[in-house]
Structure 1
Amino acid sequence: MKSAEDIIERLKKSFHTPSKKDERIKVVVICIVISTTFWFFSALNKEDYISQINYPIEIEFDESEYIATRDLPTRVPIEVTGGGWDLMTRSFGFNMSPIKIALDKPDESNYVMTSSLRGQLTPRLDPVVINYILRDSINYDIQKKVSRTFKLALDPSSISLDDSYRISSPISIQPDTVVWTGPERTIRDLDRVIYLEANLTEIDRDVTEEVDIPKAPEFVNTALESVSVSFEVVRMLDVSDNVPIVLLNFPDSTWRPNISEASIKYKIAETHFDAVDSARVQVVADFNEMNPSDSSLVLKVGFRDEHVDELEVLPASIRVFKND
């Protein structure tokens, strides 16, 4: 069998023999590859190299009771000393079974001291020697997994009615609660009421819609994604009328107002409108509240039907005078 020196010598001779240009290039490349290979293997045979490797770790805990809120560390950096071959195999991850770090109550602390791992690392790395563990601690954020029931409510700003319509019934949400499960701190900091965005516009009829529940925060899970929202609406009618002004506490009939009727405008649901009913609103002038500087009285509403909405009284005040 020929030695490496013989092979290189033959390659040199072939380089000087007449040949095509591309063949000479091939010879040069082969020489470089062989030289590099010899250097590489020679270097690996040396001892006492200092290097840094990342040893694999696995953090274990009861995932049915706890939840990690950020990615768990999977490696710990170590400075080591050893032979070239040993360090190369460790650098590529060979012969390095992960160290398992079991956490019984991971929510009571957020770190593990790396010094506690040295006893497990030493026999696994032999014959490589550990110089330093380059990180003091392994940090994590693992919280207890908790569940809480939240009340669901409809955000009123997400509903836009036609100008002539009003909601005439309670807003029904079925189901009206949702259970969210997630990290204890996250769940604890959430408001107890979750508002739904219906995104309903120009409503002029009764509503029954499926509305999505807002997206839960990161790491929070729920089995409920949407609920049924329903309510009734009614058309509102614009009503104008003239009503007599009711006089209160006037001393005698010699004191009279300058007008006897007031004009009123209001809205009322068509389901409660009665064209012959003229007593839905009572307008009052109280003599005891007269302004003596100008004998004026502010008109007040003495009675209003509960179905009357957006009531306006004109004029806002009257004057009184005495007939001698």
Structure 2
Amino acid sequence: MKKLKKIIALIRKYAPSSDPARLKIMGICFLSAFGFWLLTALQKTDHRMVIKVPIGYRYNQSELSVMKPLPAYVQVEVSGEGWNLLKQYSPISDTPIEIILPSDASRKYITSYGLNNDVHEFLRERELHLERILTDTLRFDIDKKVRKKVKLAVEIDSISLAPGYRILSAISTFPDSLELLGPAHLLKKQPDVFHVKLPLNNIEGEVNEQIDIAAQLKPYISIFPSKVRVAFDVDHLVTVNRKIKMELKHFDPKGAWFINDSSTYIQYDIRSRDKDLDLPFRVGLDFWQLDRDSMVMPDVISIPKHVENVHLDSGAIKILFKQPVVKEGSKK
């Protein structure tokens, strides 16, 4: 280094910057001096530097989930001849140190002590000496892959019906179950029922939709099959208000108790196409349910299929008592 400084000082003294020819001579001399110094320095064996030793991994990808990228290198301080250190910047890729990860994910980390022999061997092949490993520990965010079978159902809140429309059948899914594959700690938290969201808005008719559910999964989890079919019936409903005759129970036709009108009104929602059907509703009025105020509440005995929101318009029915007729002149 002292020789290089002397050469530079001489160049500055005898080659003023105003003379182009001398500037050229100065540059040549400088490069020659630098090259001489570099060749001398590279031949020395006491150089130290920090380099990155590449790390590779061998594991069964079908049995192990890697949650985060595995560490790609370990930093080490080495010493050796300058030429050998210079080779570490060569674009030629080195074969990395290989770490084997067991399929049961039992190996979560490896310390610098555990890497010591492999790093020594790696550097020995490159004629370098290991001074110390700077990376203390390599940690692996991995987990064992497991399978879990879950039932398939449609998330009710995701069904968007047009105003006045109702679901009028069972909601069917094909298939009715799924198989999940993923990290054990994630599948342990997964519910036993997978709720699929229906990507439809303002539904106004029958649904028979194939849905890709892969996008609805959490990261690192696979599902089989990835597409399912959802089917159910939807139709427009109208409200019908209809007069119906009640069935009288436990009334003595020859008794003193009676009602003025045995009819009432029943209200229900039904498909618009079926609104004119004469449906077989049955409404009963049971005398044995008579309360202290001589009132009886009618009861819907049977409801036909495909109707909703059934209720009676009338409240409790007043039961009347027939006053006996007393003939004139008769004794009380």
**TM-score of the superposed pair, with normalisation by structure 2:** 0.74
Q: Does the C-alpha gap of structure 1 residues 125 and 275 become closer, same or farther in structure 2, counting only changes over 3 Å?
A: closer
Once the two structures are superposed, residues 263-305 of structure 1 have per-residue CA deviations (whole angstroms, 9 ceiling, x without a partner) of 221123467666455x413142544351x2x444333323333
1:71 CA displacement: 0.9
Q: Does the C-alpha gap of structure 1 residues 260 and 105 become closer, same or farther in structure 2, counting only changes over 3 Å?
A: closer
Contact 1:249 1:288 in 2 (8 A): no
Work out the percentage of aligned pairs sharing the same amino acid.
27
Q: Which residue of 2 aligns with 1:65?
A: 63
1:13 and 2:11 matched: no
Once the two structures are superposed, residues 187-225 of structure 1 have per-residue CA deviations (whole angstroms, 9 ceiling, x without a partner) of 343223322222333333323222221423323334644
Q: Which residue of 2 aligns with 1:243?
A: 244
Tell me the SS of whatever aligns to 1:108: coil
Tell me the C-alpha RMSD between the 2 structures: 3.9
Contact 1:89 1:95 in 2 (8 A): no
Contact 2:283 2:298 in 1 (8 A): no
Name whichever structure is richer in strand by fraction: 1
Contact 1:11 1:31 in 2 (8 A): no
1:310 and 2:309 matched: yes
1:61 CA displacement: 1.6
Distance in 2 (CA, whole Å) between partners of 1:253 and 1:25 is 137
1:181 and 2:181 matched: yes
1:190 and 2:190 matched: yes
Once the two structures are superposed, residues 23-67 of structure 1 have per-residue CA deviations (whole angstroms, 9 ceiling, x without a partner) of 898888878777766666665555544433221121212234323
Q: Does the C-alpha gap of structure 1 residues 188 and 323 become closer, same or farther in structure 2, counting only changes over 3 Å?
A: same
1:288 and 2:289 matched: yes
1:87 CA displacement: 3.8
Q: Which residue of 2 aligns with 1:227?
A: 228
Which stretch of the first structure deviates more once superposed, 208-217 or 144-153? 144-153
Contact 1:145 1:182 in 2 (8 A): yes
Q: What is the number of residues matched between the two proteins? A: 316
Contact 1:241 1:265 in 2 (8 A): yes
Residue type of the alignment partner of 2:255: S
**TM-score of the superposed pair, with normalisation by structure 1:** 0.76
Tell me the SS of whatever aligns to 1:191: coil
Distance in 2 (CA, whole Å) between partners of 1:92 and 1:27 is 32
Q: Which residue of 2 aligns with 1:199?
A: 199
Contact 2:8 2:30 in 1 (8 A): no
1:164 CA displacement: 4.5
Contact 1:196 1:214 in 2 (8 A): no
1:77 and 2:78 matched: no
1:263 to 255, 262, 265: 265
Unaligned stretches of 5+ residues in structure 1: none
Contact 2:158 2:197 in 1 (8 A): yes
Matches within 5 A, 1:1-150: 9=10, 12-15=13-16, 18-19=18-19, 44=42, 48-90=46-88, 97-105=95-103, 107-126=105-124, 127-150=127-150
Residue type of the alignment partner of 1:255: W
Q: Does the C-alpha gap of structure 1 residues 239 and 48 become closer, same or farther in structure 2, counting only changes over 3 Å?
A: same
Contact 2:101 2:107 in 1 (8 A): no
Contact 1:211 1:227 in 2 (8 A): yes
Contact 1:247 1:287 in 2 (8 A): no
Matches within 5 A, 1:274-285: 275-276=277-278, 279-285=280-286
Q: Does the C-alpha gap of structure 1 residues 122 and 202 become closer, same or farther in structure 2, counting only changes over 3 Å?
A: closer
Q: Which residue of 1 aligns with 2:213?
A: 213
